[in-house]
Amino acid sequence: MPKVLVVDDAAFMRASLRKILEPAGFEVSEAENGAVAVNTYQEVAPDVVTMDITMPEKDGIQAVKEIRALDPAAKIIMVSALGQENMVKQAILSGAKDFVVKPFDGERVVESIKKAMG
Amino acid sequence: MALKVEYINPFIEAGTEVLRKTTQMTVDRGKPSLDNGLFRVPDITVVLGLVGDLCGQVLYGFSVETAMGIASRMMGGEEVTEMDDMSRSAIAELGNMITGNAASRFSKLGLNIDVSTPSLITGSNMRITWPLHNALIVPVSTECGEMVVWLSMRERDKE
């Protein structure tokens, strides 16, 4: 079963993504900020990461950079409420594969994860 | 520079879109007024800081009943009988999504804003003292009750 690491400081958002991803056949693990995400990535070795941007401790953009430094093949999708062009560019430049804007359609997230997995 | 009334529009448009997508509710916007310091903050209030070309704070206030109704809809109709951790997280995330959506609308006007993580204030009979200037208040009617949007914002000083 492919593994997805869901990174978001909002418990509600982690639960929402779990509700979408588990029935779609993914094993889900969670991290509540960027710092925890970097550690959990190494422990879990997920196939794909969904990453929020604005989080305490360490933001999503910095976490993407650190995870990509550890694993240049890491597949990371940003899932954020901040969908302005400069934020999307910043995320893609830091190594994210895709950008899903909240509030999202569940099918859009699943499709993006499947596409990232190739 | 003073708070411009038109700055409230992207927040109301964003609120309408985000509430429609997350709760399938339509909303009706009330008339904006100025907070003269006499308004009481509703029981459940989400606060977010705004930094960038425009700086300030935006608040979204709800009664407990309204917040529970909205949280329930956000959770796919799950019964919500108290504002527990998950319901509070849902309401905070609603504020985050509305403000993020508003920031995208401002960026299309050439104004870039960064948004802080949301904080949730719970309590009754509170008043706000605005540090910078006055705030605008706009009531927004939903099928679950009223959401009140407070906006206190100014343009960044030109260097």
Residues A44-72: pLDDT tens digits? 999 999 999 999 989 999 999 999 999 99
Higher pLDDT among residues B157 and B10, named by residue: B10
Which of B101, B85, B84 lies closest to B20, judged by CA?
B101
Mark yes or no for CB contact B107/A80 under 8 Å: no
**DSSP notation for chain A:** --EEEEE-S-HHHHHHHHHHHTTTT-EEEEESSHHHHHHHHHHH--SEEEE-SS-SSS-HHHHHHHHHHH-TT--EEEEES---HHHHHHHHHHT-SEEEESS--HHHHHHHHHHHH-
What is the C-alpha to C-alpha distance for residues B92 and B44, in angstroms, rounded to an integer?
A: 10
Of B85, B101, B117, the CB nearest to A9: B117
**Which residues of chain B lie closer than 8 angstroms to A101, CB-CB?**
100, 104
**Which residues of chain B lie closer than 8 angstroms to A12, CB-CB?**
74-75, 86, 89-90, 92-93
Mean pLDDT of B145-157: 89
Q: For chain A, what is the radius of gyration of the CA atoms? A: 12
User: Is a pLDDT exceeding 90 seen at residue B153?
Assistant: no
User: Is a pLDDT exceeding 70 seen at residue B128?
Assistant: yes
Distance from CA of B159 to the nearest CA of A (A): 22
Using pLDDT thresholds of 50, 70 and 90, give the confidence band for residue B158: low
pTM for the structure as a whole: 0.94
Q: How high is the pLDDT of residue B133?
A: 61
User: Is a pLDDT exceeding 70 seen at residue B10?
Assistant: yes
Q: How high is the pLDDT of residue B132?
A: 60
Segment A2-57, tens digit of pLDDT: 999 999 999 999 999 999 999 999 999 999 999 999 999 999 999 999 999 999 98
Strand ranges for B38-117 from DSSP E: 44-52, 54-62, 113-115
ipTM reported for the complex, 2 dp: 0.93
Q: How high is the pLDDT of residue A69?
A: 97
Using pLDDT thresholds of 50, 70 and 90, give the confidence band for residue B84: very high
Tell me, yes or no, if A80 comes closer than 8 A to chain B by beta carbon. Answer: yes
Which burial class, exposed, middle or buried, applies to A11 when counting CB atoms under 10 A from its CB (0-12, 13-18, 19+)?
middle
User: Is a pLDDT exceeding 80 seen at residue B4?
Assistant: no
Mark yes or no for CB contact A86/B107 under 8 Å: yes
Mark yes or no for CB contact A82/B116 under 8 Å: no
Mean pLDDT of A89-95: 94
**Which residues of chain B lie closer than 8 angstroms to A84, CB-CB?**
103-104, 106-107, 112
Higher pLDDT among residues B126 and B121, named by residue: B121
